[in-house]
Structure 1
Amino acid sequence: MSKKTLNVSCVGAGVIGSGWAARLLVNGINVTVFDKQTESYSRTKSSVERAKKYFSQLTKAPLREIGNLNFAKSLDDALELPDYIIESLPENLQIKQHLYKEIEEVSKNSIILSSTSGFKPTDLQKHMKNPKNLIVTHPFNPVYLMPLVEVVPGQEKDQDIIDNVCHLLKYIGMVPIKIKKEIDAFVADRMLEAMWREALWLIKDNICTTEELDNIITSSFGIRFAQMGMFESYRIAGGDKGMRHFLDQFGPALKWPWSRLTDVPEFNSELIEKICSQSDAQSNMYSISELEDIRDKNLVELQKALRNNRWGSGRTLASYEKDLFDEQSKQAEKAGVRIISDLLITYTKTIPPEWADYNGHMTEYRYLNCFGDASDAVMLHIGCDKAYIEAGNSYFTVETNIKHLNELKVGQEVHIETKVIKGNGKKLHVFHMLKNKEGELFATGEHLLLHVSLKTRKTCSAGEPLITKLEELEKKHRGVSIPSEPKIIV
């Protein structure tokens, strides 16, 4: 997918529409935003800044170059270029249907993605000339950090459109889950609605306060469900006999009169005042912006922890992160065409301000950062890509030798030239040279990597295609000199 050719228009600049715009932009996609209430554009700008701040903390990989953001003066202006139109208007069926009519009058082939949290797509499509061009893509707030999107096609659907939309969502690091049947409010909101109704009863009946209820959630099943869903958690609760034992033990309890989920408390001014006053007592010491900061920091750290364990939403983050690293490696390889060298070009970078230390030059650990990324590029080049790793094999670095030869400052353009010293069986021995565009050498990194089975966590021979590619590189690089003799004994 190319950010140069992909343009998305977001119609509606509220919390969700602005969140969509922010997520797309930090993934290098050009976005045009339109809202009749132009004061909403400040929300979009705020969301973009928040996404740039927290999305960059989510991953160790270099982010894509940010896309272009434009604010349209009219709906017609917003519909000039888009490959996709994301609709995030208020939950009013007639308003949404009227917008789709306006869109089709300008561009009958536009693909419309509705952010609705409740309407079935077939109802949304009802008056469209090309109903298959609309599907529901229901995200969660904040869109720029929450990965799930419920993808819901209507009765009129085009599988190619659905597949392309899911590909786009994966590209921006999200988890598209296609809902098998149309149903009001889909899946996640139906679960939340059930909990919300019960919560209203608990507050109304003075069982607990809003603060106590939130503490109960965040100190118990809220933590558990963040890393493992309902059915997996309950499977564990069944002990060694698993889910069947859990159902035998707790199934009869479903008939007990514990909850009032199917009943709704009267939503009157008394209940509203009670909830609002308790909520003020609980959180009024924070501004909404401060609460958003707290939320975003926590969401980032939760997902990073899950990424490290390759579990839950962390699997998605790990896969997205690998895509970003691979893109960086491919960009370096393309840059190699402009750099005269007999070796692999495995890394390119303009040193950013945040990489400087208190001495005003690139800080020490960033050299390892650069050389580590260069080693990843070698792996990708020989065929150790995401599919190969997901199949259960990879390389682990077992020895590193870095030499700092010159001072590297912010703003300098650098690249890494890599020599494959040895590549056969289990071993990959590389020598990296960090240079500027004039060819001046700033640092070297010598690395020994071993091929490993991710299932046994033990060394094993690399696949034959990888060994063949490594042998070709070793032979090609054999006559190219390096500034010092290798220190690592293989």
Structure 2
Amino acid sequence: MTKISKAACIGGGVIGGGWIARFLLAGIDVDVFDPHPEATRIVGEVIANAEKAYAMLTGAPLPPRGRLTFCETLVEAVIDADWIQESVPERLDLKRGVLTEIDAAARPDALIGSSTSGLLPTDLQRDMRHPERFFVSHPYNPVYLLPLVELVGGEKTSAATIQAAIARLAPIGMKGVHIAKEIEAFVGDRLLEALWREALWLIHDDICTVETLDDVIRYSFGLRWAQMGLFQTYRIAGGEAGMRHFLAQFGPCLAWPWTKLTDVVDLDDALIEKIGRQSDEQASGLSIRQLERIRDENLVGILQALKGGDGGKGWGAGKLLKDFEQSLWANGGESMPADPSQPLRLVETKVSPAWVDYNGHMTEHRYLQVFGDTSDALLRLVGVDLAYVEAGHSYYTVESHIRHLGEAKLGQAIHSACQILSADEKRLHVFHTLHDTATAEVIATAEQMLLHVDSKAGKAVPAPAAVLGRVKAIAAAHAELALPEGAGRHVGQRR
């Protein structure tokens, strides 16, 4: 099995709720056990934020949302799941007891992961009857957007279990990385702890405020780390001579008495109050939920930018997103709308923060993107999918005319409909209309001419009979429609 068929989540807090959202939005049914009296509300709010983020993140067809069930007992939650994720508070005795109970109730072939951020898997699996199928699966918050999972096995974890976990994470858009040896805090938190320790000293010694420190990270090396990590960033810093030159030039700095990494700051009441006060000032009255939404919007923008990196191939987490979207397109495909005799409503989306200008209005090139997405959806509908394009044929847009009749604004729900005006063996003439979903008001239109091409030969060629048959069936149905207002216009023509 390479896909998760049903998941169970034990614990629905910040991390557990993120796992629940990640599974649900991947189309996986999730059974949850969490005795907290407000677990339903808390998980519901996390899922709502995740759905808003995914609406901005991708236009690919997500599978139908999985079914969410809150169970009365842990046994009820895990009994028929094939991936069980434990996310209870970070106490060894508590986690060990919960994991042992999970192990006793779970199916023999179920994988059992723990969201612990530092406890050793060997210690956690001590009392399990089937410790070979247990591993640490440590994610990063928010789990539904950040794709990394550190996979760490204990002394009794089998290699097959780790490989199975990596394989099952990929279809839900996550990257499992195998940490070869178990150490406290694993890899990510080891790095974060070093930075956190130094940061606390900088605040303690009044070198800067918490806001200044965060600004130093987010306006400089944080941007580099987001797309290239640490070592590749430093390789570039070494110039043409690369990493060896960088190490030779800057390596001696490691012996200088800069850092306080081995000197633990005393988090006394005064320092806690100082950091708390400065953090309150930095938040400027924004609630945690508001900060989460801002965080999600920013992460979506970064992931979308990385998706276009390396000449459109995608880079880092953006490439992972691109690959995930391709699998969604391949699995989801397109289905014919209920009434193909009407303009085909093919794209449903919201205006993302990454799409707007300083006025909060959708920028010009995003209109072209939505209309391009509409053409792509039509092509998938007639059989011109990813496999078809990879085989060397496609339709290329050779002419576009866009009219801006209204304004699409931040957060606005919009949809685009397509009418085929005409088609022959090589040409496809379409007219798209962008609507405000709430009011049906027309925001913009686009008229496009597409040519069927042999991409290897670089010339227009007739479409195959299967594709042409689907195109002409829709065109024949649309021939009964009135010509859209604005069709055949040119730039500058009077309205």
Q: Which residue of 2 aligns with 1:380?
A: 385
Q: Which residue of 1 aligns with 2:451?
A: 448
For residues 480 and 192 of structure 1, the distance between their equivalents in structure 2, rounded to whole angstroms, comes to: 58
Q: CA deviation at 1:181?
A: 2.0
- Mapping of residues 332-371 of structure 1, within 5 Å: 332=335, 369-371=373-375
Task: Determine if contact 1:120/1:184 at 8 Å carries over to the other structure.
Answer: yes
Task: Determine if contact 1:119/1:184 at 8 Å carries over to the other structure.
Answer: yes
For residues 175 and 225 of structure 2, the distance between their equivalents in structure 1, rounded to whole angstroms, comes to: 17
Q: Which residue of 1 aligns with 2:297?
A: 297
Task: Determine if contact 1:104/1:129 at 8 Å carries over to the other structure.
Answer: yes
Give the partner amino acid of 1:380. Answer: D
Q: Which residue of 2 aligns with 1:45?
A: 44
Task: Determine if contact 2:151/2:179 at 8 Å carries over to the other structure.
Answer: yes
Question: Secondary structure of 2:38's partner?
Answer: helix
Count of residue pairs brought into register by the alignment: 434
For residues 481 and 50 of structure 1, the distance between their equivalents in structure 2, rounded to whole angstroms, comes to: 38
Q: CA deviation at 1:163?
A: 3.0
Matched, 1:98 2:97: yes
Q: Which residue of 1 aligns with 2:181?
A: 181
Q: CA 1:279–1:394 in 2, change beyond 3 Å: closer, same or farther? A: farther
Q: Which residue of 1 aligns with 2:280?
A: 280
- Mapping of residues 393-412 of structure 1, within 5 Å: 397-399=396-398
1:101-158, Cα deviation, whole Å (9 max, x unpaired): 2123323523211111112222211111111111111110011111111122223233
Task: Determine if contact 2:121/2:135 at 8 Å carries over to the other structure.
Answer: yes
Task: Determine if contact 1:374/1:416 at 8 Å carries over to the other structure.
Answer: no
Q: Which residue of 1 aligns with 2:138?
A: 138
1:319-360, Cα deviation, whole Å (9 max, x unpaired): 11111222232x64xx79x999xxxxxx997886979xxxxx
1:457-485, Cα deviation, whole Å (9 max, x unpaired): xx5579xxxx9x9757479889989648x
Question: Secondary structure of 1:38's partner?
Answer: coil
Task: Determine if contact 2:388/2:394 at 8 Å carries over to the other structure.
Answer: no
Q: Which residue of 2 aligns with 1:78?
A: 77
Q: Which residue of 2 aligns with 1:210?
A: 210
Q: CA 1:384–1:367 in 2, change beyond 3 Å: closer, same or farther? A: closer
Question: Secondary structure of 2:308's partner?
Answer: helix
Give the partner amino acid of 1:169. Answer: L
Q: CA 1:225–1:475 in 2, change beyond 3 Å: closer, same or farther? A: closer
For residues 32 and 327 of structure 1, the distance between their equivalents in structure 2, rounded to whole angstroms, comes to: 24
Give the partner amino acid of 1:448. Answer: L
Q: Which residue of 2 aligns with 1:360?
A: none
Q: Which residue of 1 aligns with 2:17?
A: 18
Q: Which residue of 2 aligns with 1:456?
A: none
For residues 151 and 205 of structure 1, the distance between their equivalents in structure 2, rounded to whole angstroms, comes to: 37
Task: Determine if contact 1:151/1:178 at 8 Å carries over to the other structure.
Answer: yes
Q: CA deviation at 1:169?
A: 1.6
Q: CA 1:245–1:349 in 2, change beyond 3 Å: closer, same or farther? A: same
Q: Which residue of 1 aligns with 2:317?
A: 313
Q: CA deviation at 1:225?
A: 1.1
For residues 232 and 398 of structure 2, the distance between their equivalents in structure 1, rounded to whole angstroms, comes to: 39
Task: Determine if contact 2:8/2:30 at 8 Å carries over to the other structure.
Answer: yes
Q: Which residue of 1 aligns with 2:116?
A: 116
For residues 474 and 174 of structure 1, the distance between their equivalents in structure 2, rounded to whole angstroms, comes to: 34
1:294-328, Cα deviation, whole Å (9 max, x unpaired): 11111111111111212221111111111122223
For residues 116 and 88 of structure 2, the distance between their equivalents in structure 1, rounded to whole angstroms, comes to: 8
Task: Determine if contact 1:325/1:373 at 8 Å carries over to the other structure.
Answer: no
- Mapping of residues 426-437 of structure 1, within 5 Å: none
Q: CA deviation at 1:193?
A: 0.3
Q: CA deviation at 1:165?
A: 2.2
Q: CA 1:351–1:177 in 2, change beyond 3 Å: closer, same or farther? A: closer
Q: CA 1:120–1:479 in 2, change beyond 3 Å: closer, same or farther? A: closer
Q: Which residue of 1 aligns with 2:361?
A: none
Task: Determine if contact 1:401/1:447 at 8 Å carries over to the other structure.
Answer: no
Give the partner amino acid of 2:98. Answer: L
Q: CA 1:349–1:34 in 2, change beyond 3 Å: closer, same or farther? A: farther
Give the partner amino acid of 1:102. Answer: E
Q: CA 1:120–1:475 in 2, change beyond 3 Å: closer, same or farther? A: same
Task: Determine if contact 2:114/2:138 at 8 Å carries over to the other structure.
Answer: yes
Q: CA deviation at 1:189?
A: 0.7
Give the partner amino acid of 1:314. Answer: G
Q: Which residue of 1 aligns with 2:231?
A: 231
For residues 475 and 308 of structure 1, the distance between their equivalents in structure 2, rounded to whole angstroms, comes to: 31
Task: Determine if contact 1:22/1:48 at 8 Å carries over to the other structure.
Answer: yes
Task: Determine if contact 2:395/2:450 at 8 Å carries over to the other structure.
Answer: no
Q: Which residue of 2 aligns with 1:28?
A: 27
Q: CA deviation at 1:366?
A: 6.3
Q: Which residue of 1 aligns with 2:165?
A: 165
For residues 7 and 470 of structure 2, the distance between their equivalents in structure 1, rounded to whole angstroms, comes to: 45
Give the partner amino acid of 1:447. Answer: L
Task: Determine if contact 1:133/1:157 at 8 Å carries over to the other structure.
Answer: yes
For residues 211 and 295 of structure 1, the distance between their equivalents in structure 2, rounded to whole angstroms, comes to: 16
Task: Determine if contact 1:374/1:432 at 8 Å carries over to the other structure.
Answer: no
For residues 420 and 152 of structure 1, the distance between their equivalents in structure 2, rounded to whole angstroms, comes to: 56
Q: Which residue of 1 aligns with 2:250?
A: 250
Give the partner amino acid of 1:265. Answer: V
Question: Secondary structure of 1:248's partner?
Answer: helix
Q: CA 1:395–1:256 in 2, change beyond 3 Å: closer, same or farther? A: farther
Give the partner amino acid of 2:138. Answer: H
Question: Secondary structure of 1:137's partner?
Answer: strand
Q: Which residue of 1 aligns with 2:262?
A: 262
Task: Determine if contact 1:420/1:470 at 8 Å carries over to the other structure.
Answer: no
Task: Determine if contact 2:2/2:164 at 8 Å carries over to the other structure.
Answer: no
For residues 461 and 53 of structure 1, the distance between their equivalents in structure 2, rounded to whole angstroms, comes to: 41
Q: CA 1:350–1:430 in 2, change beyond 3 Å: closer, same or farther? A: closer
Give the partner amino acid of 1:323. Answer: S
Task: Determine if contact 1:420/1:474 at 8 Å carries over to the other structure.
Answer: no
Task: Determine if contact 2:7/2:29 at 8 Å carries over to the other structure.
Answer: yes
Uncovered stretches (5+) of structure 1, i.e. residues with no partner: 341-346, 356-362, 404-409, 423-427, 435-442, 453-458, 485-490
1:43-84, Cα deviation, whole Å (9 max, x unpaired): 110000001111121012222211111111111221232121
Q: Which residue of 1 aligns with 2:354?
A: none
Task: Determine if contact 2:104/2:129 at 8 Å carries over to the other structure.
Answer: no
Q: Which moved more, 1:172-181 or 1:314-323?
A: 172-181
